[in-house]
Chains A and B, each alone.
Chain A
Amino acid sequence: MDALRFIGKRLLLMIPILIGISILTFAISNTIPGDPARLILGPKATPEGLEALREDMGLNDPLYVQYGNYMAGIFQGDLGKSTYSQRPVVEDLLRYSPATFELTMFAMFITLVVGIPFGVISASRKDRIADQFTRVFALIGVAMPAFWLGLLLLLFFYLKLGVLPGSGRLDGGMSPPEYITGMYTIDALLTGNWPVLYAAVMHMILPGITLAAVTVGMITRMTRSSMLTVLQSDYIRTAFAKGAPENRVLYGHALRNGIMPVITLLGMAFGHALGGSVLVEAVFSWPGLGQYAVNAINYLDFPAVMGVTLLIAVMFIIVNLIVDTLYFFIDPRLKHN
């Protein structure tokens, strides 16, 4: 009951946030110099043709009217038509976003299974070799630009060793699995299409690692520092005073407390990975939202840019809602206050 109320409140809070984001993006994309109509019709367009198209696209209306029309559309599930692809933006988003979402989730998976254990080990072996190693590793992850790491990985594992594929989501000539979620691994799993599942996973490894490098670094460092603080606390001393062995103290008492700030950071890391996917998708020719957004910006395709921005914002907010709800279940102090 408490949890439902909590989630309900959070969902209500989403509305003003989303309105704010939509106003902001709408304002920004409309102040960018350039004329979409001219871009569509090309250099040989006649002034009359331009004017007609502008009128048709609603570009001559005052900004607030354009915004109003846009918002009215959103509530009917209409994000407008992409001026570049000539398809409804919703359709484009459904086509491209599963690829990005799949890649991001994979990167977050790597972040979790690598970052947290590394941080815990690092903290429990403070200043010893394992700690020094993890700290350097985490620092490299945070400091290395994604595109550079991506290129290095491609060079080594694809060009030199040839053990992993270099681009795209599937091997050449392979047809995607039946569309259920749009995420190839999941769709392949659901339909029992094992060759495609294998190929999809193999294709995700390099871009996944590239995307996760920064977030693994972030999470490792956060886990380490949070665990160090927790290990200094009085209740850890109490646990030792009861006669609990080190591992029991570490995993039974310290980890659950130490993980709390890490969970908050995970939400941020997800946002970071979503944003980072633009670069990574370019390096690995990954047909996702990032690629789509870059194209949309190049062609001043405002409806598409707006659509991508709103979608990313919604995903980010939802992930953070999940994170907060998780927090709510882990920390009893939130439940009673």
Chain B
Amino acid sequence: MALLEVSNLKQHFTTKKGFLGEKTIVKAVDGVSITIEEGKTLGVVGESGCGKSSLGRSILRLVEPTEGSIKFEGEEIVGMSAKRLKELRKEMQIVFQDPYASLNPRRTVRQILEAPLIIHGVGDKRERKELIENLSGKIGLRKEQLSNYPHEFSGGQRQRIGIARALALNPKLIIADEPVSALDVSVQSQVLNLMLELQQEMNLSYMFISHDLSVVQHISDKVAVMYLGKVVEIADVGKVYDTPMHPYTQALLSALPVPDPTRIRSRIILQGDLPSPSNPPSGCTFHTRCPMATKECAEIVPPLEEKAPGHFAACIHV
């Protein structure tokens, strides 16, 4: 059984312009089905407005999903009581993009790390102290540094503190929303290394959300590519990166600047801009930019189908 099983999840937002304005529905997540296995990483990749962050948030029920099912260890999360949800949150934690904005500037690192333990009533004072010191060791923080405040740390250190806070309750699943996007590469690599080490040590599962294709490739076992609220391709990392099926994935990969000046590339340049999620194109939402698009693409919504063993794509031309 998969650790997390999401099926047909929808997250629609209604926005209203002004006091007497018209309502528009934004389908941030529109029927997404994914699974995450224990000890594995699912990478979710896509450009702005593809709904990858909304997906992470609605899985944790930080926003209420509009429709669909989310099963954690077989237990349905949608519609679950607040009390049970609180218990379950121990098992599922989130790490945000901006480590500075998500750490309370008036609390010391010790207080920040202790907060989730207190909320969930873990251990007594002495046990908690031990836990925190153990945790800070894992992220490479010295004991003395625990009484410092977030602003006294660099961006990379702050992100490691954010990870430590997520780990405090010994969760099974961590949803990391662009966790390294605000960091310089040399620091980003430290955080990625740490996440990989911790995964091995604690048998963690990750949902790693990022716009950065090379980072996702580096850390993931399985990758889901999203476009305008839908998963267009999902498979093992090797399959997605080495033999991409969906024209969007192919374009995305060919667009990625590669740090190798000798490489000669044939690039697929997509025309036009990303459509607005509030007014997505008909049929296959990618058809307006797709180099392979035909007349049917504007009419048929392509289902996500298994095109090769373990390799799913949503395109009628594959």
Q: How far is the CB of A165 from chain B (nearest CB, A)?
A: 48
Chain B residue contacts of A9, Cβ below 8 A: 18-20
Chain B residue contacts of A12, Cβ below 8 A: 20
Chain A residue contacts of B18, Cβ below 8 A: 9
Closest to A9 in B: B20
Chain A residue contacts of B20, Cβ below 8 A: 9, 12
Chain B residue contacts of A32, Cβ below 8 A: none
Interface of A is mostly: helix
Contact B17 A337 (CB under 8 A): yes
In the bound assembly, the distance between CA atoms of A296 and B313 in angstroms comes to 79
Residue A13 lies at the interface, judged by CB distance under 8 Å to chain B: yes
Closest to B20 in A: A9
Q: How far is the CB of A173 from chain B (nearest CB, A)?
A: 54
Closest to B17 in A: A337
Contact B19 A13 (CB under 8 A): yes
In the bound assembly, the distance between CA atoms of A337 and B20 in angstroms comes to 13
> B8-67: which residues lie under 8 A (CB-CB) from chain A?
17-20
In the bound assembly, the distance between CA atoms of A337 and B19 in angstroms comes to 13
Closest to A8 in B: B20
Interface of B is mostly: loop
Closest to A12 in B: B20
In the bound assembly, the distance between CA atoms of A9 and B20 in angstroms comes to 8
In the bound assembly, the distance between CA atoms of A12 and B20 in angstroms comes to 10
Q: How far is the CB of B19 from chain A (nearest CB, A)?
A: 7
In the bound assembly, the distance between CA atoms of A13 and B20 in angstroms comes to 10
Q: Mark A208-251, 1 if CB is under 8 A from B, else 0.
A: 00000000000000000000000000000000000000000000
Q: Mark A5-26, 1 if CB is under 8 A from B, else 0.
A: 0000100110000000000000
Instruction: Give the size of the chain A interface in residues (CB under 8 angstroms).
Output: 4
Using C-beta atoms within 8 Å of the partner chain, give the interface range for chain B. under 10
Closest to B19 in A: A13
Q: How far is the CB of B22 from chain A (nearest CB, A)?
A: 12
> B181-237: which residues lie under 8 A (CB-CB) from chain A?
none
Q: How far is the CB of B77 from chain A (nearest CB, A)?
A: 36
Chain B residue contacts of A13, Cβ below 8 A: 19
Q: How far is the CB of B168 from chain A (nearest CB, A)?
A: 40
In the bound assembly, the distance between CA atoms of A12 and B19 in angstroms comes to 11
Q: Mark B164-183, 1 if CB is under 8 A from A, else 0.
A: 00000000000000000000
> A4-58: which residues lie under 8 A (CB-CB) from chain B?
9, 12-13
Q: How far is the CB of A278 from chain B (nearest CB, A)?
A: 32
> B118-144: which residues lie under 8 A (CB-CB) from chain A?
none
In the bound assembly, the distance between CA atoms of A12 and B18 in angstroms comes to 14
Q: Mark A318-337, 1 if CB is under 8 A from B, else 0.
A: 00000000000000000001
Chain A residue contacts of B17, Cβ below 8 A: 337
> A281-337: which residues lie under 8 A (CB-CB) from chain B?
337
Q: How far is the CB of B156 from chain A (nearest CB, A)?
A: 27
Chain B residue contacts of A337, Cβ below 8 A: 17
Chain A residue contacts of B19, Cβ below 8 A: 9, 13
In the bound assembly, the distance between CA atoms of A328 and B184 in angstroms comes to 42
Q: How far is the CB of B278 from chain A (nearest CB, A)?
A: 12
In the bound assembly, the distance between CA atoms of A9 and B17 in angstroms comes to 13
In the bound assembly, the distance between CA atoms of A298 and B20 in angstroms comes to 42
In the bound assembly, the distance between CA atoms of A337 and B278 in angstroms comes to 14
Q: How far is the CB of A261 from chain B (nearest CB, A)?
A: 19
In the bound assembly, the distance between CA atoms of A7 and B184 in angstroms comes to 50
In the bound assembly, the distance between CA atoms of A11 and B19 in angstroms comes to 13
Closest to A6 in B: B18
In the bound assembly, the distance between CA atoms of A13 and B17 in angstroms comes to 16
In the bound assembly, the distance between CA atoms of A118 and B69 in angstroms comes to 62
In the bound assembly, the distance between CA atoms of A236 and B251 in angstroms comes to 36
In the bound assembly, the distance between CA atoms of A168 and B24 in angstroms comes to 58
Q: How far is the CB of B303 from chain A (nearest CB, A)?
A: 36
Q: How far is the CB of A74 from chain B (nearest CB, A)?
A: 25
In the bound assembly, the distance between CA atoms of A13 and B21 in angstroms comes to 13
Q: How far is the CB of A247 from chain B (nearest CB, A)?
A: 37
Closest to A5 in B: B20
In the bound assembly, the distance between CA atoms of A337 and B22 in angstroms comes to 11
Q: How far is the CB of A154 from chain B (nearest CB, A)?
A: 46
In the bound assembly, the distance between CA atoms of A113 and B304 in angstroms comes to 65
> B267-298: which residues lie under 8 A (CB-CB) from chain A?
none
In the bound assembly, the distance between CA atoms of A9 and B19 in angstroms comes to 9
In the bound assembly, the distance between CA atoms of A19 and B19 in angstroms comes to 18
Q: How far is the CB of B23 from chain A (nearest CB, A)?
A: 15
Q: How far is the CB of B75 from chain A (nearest CB, A)?
A: 43
Q: How far is the CB of B304 from chain A (nearest CB, A)?
A: 35
Q: How far is the CB of A314 from chain B (nearest CB, A)?
A: 20
Q: How far is the CB of B20 from chain A (nearest CB, A)?
A: 6
Q: How far is the CB of B16 from chain A (nearest CB, A)?
A: 12
Q: How far is the CB of A58 from chain B (nearest CB, A)?
A: 37
In the bound assembly, the distance between CA atoms of A31 and B18 in angstroms comes to 37
Q: How far is the CB of A336 from chain B (nearest CB, A)?
A: 11
Q: How far is the CB of B41 from chain A (nearest CB, A)?
A: 37
Which residues on B are within 8 Å of A, measured CB to CB? 17-20
Which residues on A are within 8 Å of B, measured CB to CB? 9, 12-13, 337
6 A-B pairs in the complex with CB atoms less than 8 angstroms apart: A9-B18, A9-B19, A9-B20, A12-B20, A13-B19, A337-B17
6 smallest beta-carbon distances between A and B, as pairs: A9-B20, A337-B17, A13-B19, A9-B19, A12-B20, A9-B18
